Structure 1
């Protein structure tokens, strides 16, 4: 059979509320044209993020019922620890309330002013947590990723030659760790090849520098390796993931992505001294090291999710369904980051709206109009989010796992194509109010 169906059936439903264009225009004005500040009840199709928005399975809900809420030494923690150790091989597994908490703890322990942390492309919270310590976050993407229309299979990797130059320029003593984000979220959701992971790991080991994976979407990256990289077609997604983790010294992980959980994260390492420092800081701000700010039921849900995410039928469906959205709009003239990624489709708003200058935030303009027109919420990945560090002006449409059906996605396709037909009418925005860090979450705009 050629049709790839959802490898699940719906057992519980949640109603969606339709609004009128006039209502949405009012909501936008009240929110300062920042889609983060809209009420979720006023959204029809919410593609703001795939983080914490997944539908959990019957297996996960059942596991939550046995959650052990003991403050210390919870049985739920040890079930999670066994699962994570089997998958990653890391000896020290520290739960956190979400991925950015793992980042904050890791960088607080390792980074200081004058340090430089290279990554293929840092995401927003990663960069902010590094810069909060006084260190510098340096992006080293592949040159091929600069062209959003090129169709290379692994555009998400790190420029290894640039990494070598950076180490020579700074000296290894100024680089506390090297990070690699899989898949590359800020780079259009593009995957990283096993060859690139091995190359970065080799450089790190040769210079005595820690190598960490930002592993939020490790399973989707493993599937791309299986499908696109020579030598892995007969490997299971779990075997590929295990090899990926074996090349690293540790990882940060948001369980809100590739673990189907609504909350949670992990910080893992093989270094006992580092783990102790991290646990000491965790106790100060998150909780005891066997719960890390989470309920026991959350730990059990993550443990089950980490097993379900590696099922081949699910991953085949996940990647195919995301590609379905990308191909249907790209084939009708909407420029996307090619090829379609795993968790999201990224519309190249800079290319789609060349009449809106970068300083007037074309991707924000597109995000606002898509909501006004059809009640669909996406997120700007460009100059609003990254300021001077922005490489593209993108609108990300992140697809929550196991939430929307094909008819929902067909509605999204129709809405995007209708907006595209009158794209020349769109105008830019300016920021009227913003915080010091992570301005895209709470800044306010006015239309120009």
Structure 2
């Protein structure tokens, strides 16, 4: 299917932004020409997925749709226990309710915003162990999502085992620019964690894209299929959380998959409390069936090559224009370096948010800030946390836009970049929530 999108004038967009308190999440979709806010649940399903919707089994317990999903997940991951949930943060809520307690330490590679939010909501602490190369946008390290083994071991040595319930590997690592984690690094994390008796869990929303980069960039796996690489990756963990709205190629849904029956039994209780019965957990049967098919399609090389090549097209066009982006280009999005793009905006006036708003004013393109607003305040000092990078993420929905749209986006960004010296004022917060403020924050011009 296709949907109509409408262009607007700059004057209209400036009024809409003011009405939205300069928060792009508050815009109506009808006010957006090209929507790159997220790649989560915004893609297009295939004919086979639509066919599965028609065959969904809506039985409350033990549906055929659940059986399809369970078999597909076990085939791809090797995890035998499955708990469907309505989306990725629900998977985090269930699993973290099971495994995390106050003052726990959760090391990982640049935890995603909702992940960190769920950890800090439980008065635990997320510790970033990403390699330093991830924070240098010009560094062409092929696996900028990797964990620094020395940083990780320092965490393991600094806290007792009972305070570290697991190590979390995010594949691909969204917050560092959609960057992949190598299989070599996954193995090293697993080996080190085994020495300290700490299990490994994957945040696997974009696991198929991660497997694609492993096939392309790790010599030992160039002749492996994507599905083989996926199974190998997951063999180094005890479980995973999944937002199926990314590499599941569906508009809603998620799951937890585990090989630890004790954790599964405990998590089952929280699934029933928060989500629904353990064989549907907040998903309709038809959506589970479409997800089972989507997981199969997303782990085929031709699809991944087409999808990631389109992201690379946008990134390479911007590089040609001299626009500062995270390199190499990530799997699901292009990330703009707002500090270099808008050097005249003070950190306390939120350069990344300012850039995202300027892009929308210019061309009706909606991206999202991955910077100070998203980083939230320190839960103890309540001071703003300033991340090493201030990024604007342009996330491409899967199987949605044409290359003509991509060229329009690039041209619009060049227009903003060419007048970036004229942009000297940012924004200030007038209202914010206690946690995950970026979704609902209200701003005004500084």
By the TM > 0.5 criterion, same fold?
yes
What is the CA–CA distance in structure 2 between the aligned matches of 1:58 and 1:27, rounded to whole Å?
Answer: 36
Structure 1 residue 146 displacement after superposition: 1.9
Matches within 5 A, 1:348-427: 348-387=337-376, 388=385, 390-426=387-423, 427=425
What is the CA–CA distance in structure 1 between the aligned matches of 2:169 and 2:338, rounded to whole Å?
Answer: 26
The aligned residue for residue 282 of structure 1 is: 271
The aligned residue for residue 202 of structure 2 is: 213
Structure 1 residue 322 displacement after superposition: 0.5
Matches within 5 A, 1:140-219: 140-219=129-208
SS where residue 157 of structure 2 aligns? Answer: helix
Structure 1 residue 253 displacement after superposition: 0.5
What is the CA–CA distance in structure 1 between the aligned matches of 2:445 and 2:280, rounded to whole Å?
Answer: 45
The aligned residue for residue 447 of structure 1 is: 445
Aligned partner of 2:120 among 131, 149, 152: 131
Aligned partner of 1:428 among 416, 426, 429: 426
Structure 1 residue 109 displacement after superposition: 1.1
What is the CA–CA distance in structure 2 between the aligned matches of 1:383 and 1:317, rounded to whole Å?
Answer: 33
Q: Is the 2:430–2:444 contact (alpha carbons within 8 Å) kept by the matching residues of 1?
A: yes
Unaligned runs of 5+ in 1: 1-11
Pair 1:297 & 2:286 matched: yes
What is the CA–CA distance in structure 1 between the aligned matches of 2:2 and 2:120, rounded to whole Å?
Answer: 42
What is the CA–CA distance in structure 2 between the aligned matches of 1:17 and 1:138, rounded to whole Å?
Answer: 43
SS where residue 414 of structure 2 aligns? Answer: helix
Aligned partner of 2:60 among 47, 54, 71: 71
TM-score for the superposition, normalised by structure 2: 0.97
Q: Is the 2:94–2:274 contact (alpha carbons within 8 Å) kept by the matching residues of 1?
A: no
Pair 1:266 & 2:255 matched: yes
Pair 1:122 & 2:111 matched: yes
Aligned partner of 1:29 among 18, 25, 35: 18
Structure 1 residue 447 displacement after superposition: 1.1
Aligned partner of 1:44 among 33, 49, 52: 33
Q: Runs of 4 or more off by more than 3 Å in structure 1? A: none
Q: CA RMSD in A?
A: 0.8
What is the CA–CA distance in structure 1 between the aligned matches of 2:198 and 2:168, rounded to whole Å?
Answer: 10
The aligned residue for residue 4 of structure 1 is: none
Aligned partner of 1:61 among 29, 32, 50: 50
Deviation per CA, 1:260-289: give whole Å up to 9, x if none: 100000111111111111111111111000
What is the CA–CA distance in structure 2 between the aligned matches of 1:284 and 1:313, rounded to whole Å?
Answer: 40
SS where residue 179 of structure 1 aligns? Answer: strand
What is the CA–CA distance in structure 1 between the aligned matches of 2:276 and 2:2, rounded to whole Å?
Answer: 34
The aligned residue for residue 380 of structure 2 is: none
Unaligned runs of 5+ in 2: 377-384
SS where residue 26 of structure 1 aligns? Answer: helix
What is the CA–CA distance in structure 1 between the aligned matches of 2:2 and 2:124, rounded to whole Å?
Answer: 46
Deviation per CA, 1:43-81: give whole Å up to 9, x if none: 000000000001000000000111011111111001100
Structure 1 residue 179 displacement after superposition: 0.3
What is the CA–CA distance in structure 1 between the aligned matches of 2:295 and 2:148, rounded to whole Å?
Answer: 30
Deviation per CA, 1:309-357: give whole Å up to 9, x if none: 0111111111111111001111211000011001000000011111111
Q: Is the 2:211–2:229 contact (alpha carbons within 8 Å) kept by the matching residues of 1?
A: yes
What is the CA–CA distance in structure 2 between the aligned matches of 1:110 and 1:334, rounded to whole Å?
Answer: 43
